[in-house]
Amino acid sequence: MPKSKSVIVGIAAFPLNTFTSDTIVNRVSSRLRAEALNATELLCLSNVLGRPRGGLPGYPSQERANIIGDQLQEFHVSIHGPYTISLTTIEKDKLRTSRAHMTRCLHVADAVGATHVTFHPGSRQGGRIVQTRVRDRLKEFMIKIDDEGLLAVPAPEVAGKIASFGNFDETCMVAGEAGCLFCWDFAHDFARGGDVTTEGGILRRLELIEKHIDLSRWRLPVHLSGIIAGRRGEVQHAPLDGGNHVPWQLFLSVLKEQQFLKKVSIICESKSEEQNNLDFRVEQALQLKTFIESKRIEKEYHTTRPALTQFFSSNSTKDSDEDSLPRLG
């Protein structure tokens, strides 16, 4: 685990499942160490419960997860849970499966020394009541964590698609009320029309984080990448300077000036259709790290790419911080 005062930057590294080999773990950890990157998110995106089937992998055993954790003990580790998890669902079978996946993820996360399990809460079902539904189910997991003495906690992720739960305010609120973390995917926030292209909009978010999340106990998970977006929000992730041009330099500049970098852990999730290998992911993370370590400060959002504002109007499905969300506090 990196020193508590260090800046934490890393990559979404490799799938964590029944097929994860020592060769993969050692290759990634050696490369991160060589580049002075100190974080990794392990991916359980397509894991199934029980034995592997239909070409899909299962979760690693507790013993295997402990071995992987020993190999990664110098890094800040997190896990990304499978897409099958849904805390918004009203279907009993799907909820039962989601609970089983989250429980398994929390145990594996604890074994590898991860601080949290990032996951997508699910589609927006049931209007405003969905927020209460997600909060109550997160509380159930926090009770289970306390009862079993686990250290890792759930971290619902700010969704990129407008049809999914939830936007920044909703996700921050349910995490705060449940007493857990949330993952601020900055590109997702941008893609759904969140006010992150101005210094004031980002500062407002930092204030909400400090109000609702226990930063004395944890660092807030942050995902950064480029993104391609449209009227319905996220289409797909992209390189940092690709897609619709996420204002990541402005974002990191605000974190610098507010001395907030030591309150977050940053995972680079950049993707490219042409290359998505380890070299590309490390290069993208180093681009973030280089900016953080420089004296450069961006005070405004500059782009020659298509503006996302063309997709949103006062009568559209834009994430409105002022009108469409319940007030916090």
Percent share of the chain, pLDDT over 70: 90
The pLDDT tens digits of the residues spanning 12-22 come to: 999 999 999 99
Amino acid 310: pLDDT: 45
pTM score of the predicted model: 0.92
At 265 the three-state DSSP class reads strand
209 phi, psi to nearest 5 deg: -60, -50
Lowest mean pLDDT among 108-117, 141-150, 209-218, 269-278: 269-278
Amino acid 128: pLDDT: 76
Confidence of residue 249 (pLDDT cuts 50, 70, 90): very high
- Give me the residue spans of the domains in the chain: 8-311
Helices (H) and strands (E) in the chain, counts: 9, 12
Q: In this structure, what token pair is assigned to residue 269?
A: 């999730």
Amino acid 276: pLDDT: 67
- Please tell me the CATH superfamily of domain 8-311, with its number: Divalent-metal-dependent TIM barrel enzymes (3.20.20.150)
Task: Kindly tell me if the per-residue pLDDT of 153 is higher than 80.
Answer: yes
Q: Report the distance separating Cα 200 and Cα 221, nearest Å.
A: 21
Lowest mean pLDDT among 1-10, 111-120, 161-170: 1-10
The pLDDT tens digits of the residues spanning 17-60 come to: 999 999 999 999 999 999 999 999 999 999 999 999 989 999 99
Q: What share of the chain is helix, strand, coil (3-state, %, to 5)?
A: 40, 20, 45
Count of other CB atoms within 10 angstroms of residue 293: 12
Confidence of residue 325 (pLDDT cuts 50, 70, 90): very low
Task: Kindly tell me if the per-residue pLDDT of 309 is higher than 90.
Answer: no
Of 77, 43, 72, 37, give the one whose Cα is nearest residue 221: 77
On whether the CB atoms of residues 233 and 318 are closer than 8 A, the answer is no
